[in-house]
Structure 1
Amino acid sequence: MLLRIPLHIPRYWRNRVTRRGRVDFRSKGRLMAWTAAFRTWSLPGSIVLIAMVSVGEVGVHAENSPGSFRVQPQHARLVGNLARLQLQVTGTDERGRSLDFTRDVSYSVSDGGVASVSKTGAVVPLASGTGKILVRHGTRSVEIPVTVSDFLPRAEVSFTRDVMPVLSRSGCNQGTCHGAQFGKGGFKLSLLGFAPERDYAPIVRDELRRRVSLLKPEDSLILNKAMLEIGHGGGRRFRHGSYDHQVLVAWLSAGVPAPVADDPVVVGLALEPKERNYLVDQGQQLRVVARYSDKTMRDVTRTARYDALNEGVATVTEDGYITAVGKGQAAVMVRYGGQAKVSLVTSPFRDNVDLAGFQPNNFIDEHVMARWKRLGTRPSTPCTDAEFIRRAYLDSIGTLPTTGKVEAFLKSTRPDKRDQLVDELLGLTGDPKRDLHVGSWSAYWALKWGDLLRNNRKQTGVGGMWSLSNWIRRSLRENMPVDQFVREIITARGSTLKNGPANFFRISRKPTDLAETTAQVFLGVRIQCARCHHHPYEV
């Protein structure tokens, strides 16, 4: 859950949030309250904190001796020759704090003919059967069962389940490569593999089948280019003998089986850990499990694609190992089969932060405080009364306060004078003698709404422009509920001169323009990119 809390005006709107999470301006659900409470502040010197409410664990350096550790999954099950499984070992230090031991323990298999385990905890099947994996750290050890099934003399390969993830992981179908709108070098794939049935023919049949060799799979162009054994503008994508190479060779050796219409598709991903605190230079092995439409589960840690979105804070390897390299917060995006998840990396700026001077007013403040503690940061100090009145006037009615107003506000000793000022500016006192700014407030925000709706005389004519502008201003003055405001716009009918909202359909006359404007203004989602790009991850 994302909470955007304006901090540069202390308690400005935050003390109006009740324990039930409702913004209370004595006019609940109205345009004035909605606009004031949820607009984004961007004044000089302001701070906007984005708080992600969740729970994580504090990590320490791996050289600390663990008091205990656990292994996930508790039972390693692998189906087929190409199955891979990632073990994840989580330990605790002498202070009870969690940390990753996946690469600090030793692994052995009781029946070495069933499976093998690498130093990084990757389990590879060798033959059908059962056995046990022993995970040892110092004098402590944990034993988990391992079961391998359907291990055949020749691997069964699915184009959708096995080959497409390799192409996506290697970057072949990225927007900068063969997934571009017109492909690259005469070879075009669907962006990020969203249409396997369309990708089969370009790989197998196009260019007189020159990209695959069924007689000599190792000589296939799709392999040699990706391994840079012949010239390739995209460089080396994988090496000989790698898992990606093994999958493609197995597929070629099996006669390049085509995708099947009822192939199960990925419907969700499970990622661990979702969030965690790190010290600089500390690492964490991710574990990714895909859920398919036929209700089966498969470990895809080895074939998922990883991207660190802020490499100044965290980096990630191609097999999903995160390393914190700086202080701050970053996200690592994990993609597989058209699904995506994010693991949040937090590296605190300080070990301890003193928040004794900050008193929370509501449950939002409590969550914000928890995030400050995790980040090791402190809130900004409250602004002065002079700064407050200036910012309040500019943000609400777009003008500076008069000298007399400023002097009276600075001289006032009322403890709630800031709350009273907000009520007066928004016309919420109920006293006509004090609610003097309703006209200025409605005019100022009618201008902002006019910009959002792109109200202009070129599209609607002079009469239509004023009709819509006057309707917006009247709606603000009457404190129309937000849902009614939106509904009257997107369902408007009739004369554009008599019914102001009807001009919305004159401004955006094409269905595509109307969809884009509606999505951006009322949903906060930009869909214009879809005109040129096939997928949001391409942008």
Structure 2
Amino acid sequence: MFLALTVWASIASYPAAPTVRVIPAEVVLPGLYSEQRLIVLEEDSGKVRDVSGEAKFEVKGPFVVAGGVVRAESPGNGSIIVRYGRQQREVRVSVSEATVSNFSATVQPVLAKGGCAARACHGAEGGQAGFALTLFNVDTTADARAISADGRRINAEAPERSLVLLKPTATVSHGGGKRFSPDSAAARALTEWISKGAEVENGDAPFLTDLSIHLPVERFTTANEQCRVLVTATFSNGAKKDVTGLALFSTTDDGVATVSEDGVVTALRRGDAYLVARYGRYITSVPLLVDIPLKQKPPVIARYQPANEIDRVLAARWERMGIAPSSVADDWTFVRRVYLDLIGTLPKPEEVSAYVNSRSPRKKEELVDSLLRRPEFIFYWTQWWGDMLRIERNTMREAGVRAFSQYIRTSLLNNKPLDQMAREMLTATGRTFTDGPANYFRPTERVEDAVVQFSRVFMGVRMDCAQCHNHPHESWTQNDFYNLAMFFRQTRLRAGPDRDEVTVENLPQVAQLNIPRRAVRTPAVPILPGTREPVESDKNLREVLAEWVTSPDNEYFARAFANRLWARMMGRGVFEPLDDYRRTNPPSDPALMDALTRLLRERGFDMRAFLREIALSRAYSLTSDTNPSNEKDNRFFSHYYPRRVPAEVLADMIAQATNRPDQYNGYPEGTRAIALEEPNTFSR
């Protein structure tokens, strides 16, 4: 009995043998020209390793495997036997009838991958060597016609002998050099499109509904560790297609990890980044963590006591990154910092002494609450709004500046929620000299200007590029831009009763708008970002847009304003620039961005309540002095980031220190710089 127990204990404690799995476990190829990458993984004690390069493949059926990629040679079903070490797995393979071969889903990604429609190539004005494409493939119909119309580039009898294939594969001379090989996914995609008639795009063609990246290794733990990725496109007809071979790859930090042209990630040093994949005009990204063990992990939690949820989220990030935060600043430093950040004003010597000498256990909360009630808070944050909304007399005139600034001041005095202010501005009507919010539209005399301002201010994204062509670094298209512009086409700006005044008014009908530079007349339709169906409503379209952008489940508005307010207090945003959120420019800490966005929503878009949470966080109180673990940190807020004070605050600081107030043109003597209503104001 004793011997049996001893043997059983010995077996139970013996480590389990590594297991092997294959991704995907089953392959369905959407048509004969499609392919599927197989990734072979070894899992050992929780550690996942890509061993695809060492695996052996045995084909059973009308398929071929090259470099771990399965391709169909003819219709039929079968399987692939994958062997690694002493283990093997069987992957069933079939060919689906749900194919995708239209131009935008098949050829456009090829042109993007090869850089064919870039400004330096056939996307240039007038094209290259007699062949012109629209810049970044903005016009699908025009590009399809450019390739197929005259018959020179298409060989319907022998698709593989088409000039549009022979040139980029350098089978014949090509000024742009070799863009892809004859046996590549790009060549097969072009061949498929040509063999099926090289049709120009039509409205019934399958469209992409989802683009996803699968990175099997969630955490890299050694330098130079590698892993293949899968990029899968899902289409409206149900087809799922491996588009890894047609995707363009990059990482947001090449110092942490790199990715090869064919989608192999290589870890370099400890840190985190995003892996970005672009397929045609679509972009997606996934987090990438390189967690190489430290020889000695800094004591993070032991030295850092979180004060709220912001601190807890940051502490988790520092722990994962092996960063020890700086120490907490002393009272002298904190009181100066919070005065400048909340009210743009230096504390008086007696105010500093009162705070430093206070024995109240809640003195920090009491100080912050008192500052949020000060009149300087209203002036200082009115200027913050003014910078964002471009309040200045050259555009709005003196009376308009005064009316708009007074509206913002009154809103801040009444602690009006941010979402309510946004709705009031977006739906404003009336005279700009008397109705403050109407001035929101003064810088937007062109409908394109209205889209740019709306997207930057209320969405935190830059759609500027999409006025002329598809955005090169995000999924915004020219169609998206002008479809959004339609929400401002039920509004008119006309001359007001006073000189240089403008009246903003609603129109009973939506004015038509055609998307410019199209081969075929293409009317824009009011479609909200991220949706596909046109809006039908009895309301003015600006009301629909305002309700959409400020709705509780809208991802743009809360994130944009949470990031702006955080940056104002902490010296930089979770993503930078503050109006340029995109998948290729993601937050430095997604968990922090999510927490801040959630906090702003939970506080009912109350700006004071949100700023209070930041000011009372332990992270806000950290000193600028660094330690060896965080001296290079400029993204994770493990120490205070020194920064310049705004020009108006600096002017007031000098006036206060010298006891010589400035005199500003058009303002009463003693007016402070933070109380000025617009930036083009001179002192005497």
* TM-score between the two structures when normalised by the length of structure 1: 0.75
* Shift in CA distance, 482/242, structure 1 to aligned 2, threshold 3 Å: closer
Conservation of the 8 A alpha-carbon contact between 1:267 and 1:293:
yes
Aligned AA for 2:36? Answer: L
1:200 to 2:144 alignment: yes
Aligned AA for 1:404? Answer: E
Alignment match of 1:313 (pick from 253, 256, 259): 256
The whole-number CA distance in structure 2 between the counterparts of 1:417 and 1:99 is 53
1:146 to 2:67 alignment: no
1:285 to 2:228 alignment: yes
| SS of match in other structure, 1:379 | coil
Displacement of 1:125 after TM fit?
A: 1.8
Alignment match of 2:212 (pick from 256, 267, 270): 270
Q: Which residue number corresponds to residue 170 of structure 1?
A: 114
Conservation of the 8 A alpha-carbon contact between 1:333 and 1:343:
yes
* Larger displacement relative to structure 2 (288-297 or 344-353): 344-353
Q: Which residue number corresponds to residue 63 of structure 2?
A: 115
The whole-number CA distance in structure 2 between the counterparts of 1:74 and 1:183 is 45
The whole-number CA distance in structure 2 between the counterparts of 1:504 and 1:79 is 50
Q: Which residue number corresponds to residue 430 of structure 2?
A: 494
Q: Which residue number corresponds to residue 491 of structure 2?
A: none
* Shift in CA distance, 249/494, structure 1 to aligned 2, threshold 3 Å: closer
The whole-number CA distance in structure 2 between the counterparts of 1:520 and 1:276 is 33
1:442 to 2:390 alignment: no
Displacement of 1:274 after TM fit?
A: 8.0
Displacement of 1:391 after TM fit?
A: 1.3
The whole-number CA distance in structure 2 between the counterparts of 1:164 and 1:496 is 46
What is the 5 A alignment of 1:320-339? 320-339=263-282
Aligned length: 457
1:417 to 2:363 alignment: yes
1:359 to 2:310 alignment: no
The whole-number CA distance in structure 1 between the counterparts of 2:126 and 2:242 is 33
Q: Which residue number corresponds to residue 68 of structure 1?
A: 19
Aligned AA for 1:199? Answer: D
Displacement of 1:282 after TM fit?
A: 0.9
* Shift in CA distance, 518/76, structure 1 to aligned 2, threshold 3 Å: closer
Q: Which residue number corresponds to residue 17 of structure 1?
A: none
Displacement of 1:525 after TM fit?
A: 2.4
The whole-number CA distance in structure 2 between the counterparts of 1:487 and 1:306 is 39
Conservation of the 8 A alpha-carbon contact between 1:289 and 1:300:
yes
* Shift in CA distance, 407/333, structure 1 to aligned 2, threshold 3 Å: same
Conservation of the 8 A alpha-carbon contact between 2:392 and 2:401:
yes
- Per-residue CA deviation, residues 318-357 of structure 1 (Å, 9 max, x unaligned), is 3211112333222221122432211322223654453232
Displacement of 1:281 after TM fit?
A: 0.6
What is the 5 A alignment of 1:17-32? none
Aligned AA for 1:99? Answer: R
Using the aligned pairs only, state the percent identity: 36
The whole-number CA distance in structure 2 between the counterparts of 1:71 and 1:136 is 10
What is the 5 A alignment of 1:94-493? 95-109=45-59, 111=60, 113-118=61-66, 120-148=67-95, 158-180=102-124, 183-193=127-137, 195-206=139-150, 209-213=151-155, 220-229=162-171, 231-249=173-191, 252=194, 256-259=198-201, 261-273=203-215, 276-278=218-220, 279-348=222-291, 350-351=293-294, 352-357=297-302, 358-427=304-373, 438-493=374-429
* Shift in CA distance, 463/192, structure 1 to aligned 2, threshold 3 Å: closer
| SS of match in other structure, 1:81 | coil
Conservation of the 8 A alpha-carbon contact between 2:208 and 2:236:
yes
Alignment match of 2:33 (pick from 82, 87, 101): 82
The whole-number CA distance in structure 2 between the counterparts of 1:274 and 1:141 is 19
Displacement of 1:186 after TM fit?
A: 4.0
- Per-residue CA deviation, residues 406-437 of structure 1 (Å, 9 max, x unaligned), is 2232223333322221111111xxxxxxxxxx
* Shift in CA distance, 379/100, structure 1 to aligned 2, threshold 3 Å: farther
* Shift in CA distance, 350/184, structure 1 to aligned 2, threshold 3 Å: farther
Aligned AA for 1:519? Answer: S
Displacement of 1:244 after TM fit?
A: 2.9
Conservation of the 8 A alpha-carbon contact between 2:100 and 2:239:
no
* Shift in CA distance, 442/121, structure 1 to aligned 2, threshold 3 Å: same
Aligned AA for 1:147? Answer: S
* Shift in CA distance, 246/511, structure 1 to aligned 2, threshold 3 Å: closer
Conservation of the 8 A alpha-carbon contact between 2:404 and 2:437:
yes
Displacement of 1:486 after TM fit?
A: 2.3
Aligned AA for 2:299? Answer: D
| SS of match in other structure, 2:430 | coil
Conservation of the 8 A alpha-carbon contact between 1:66 and 1:91:
no
Give the gaps of 5 or more residues in structure 1: 1-63, 428-437
* Shift in CA distance, 235/377, structure 1 to aligned 2, threshold 3 Å: farther
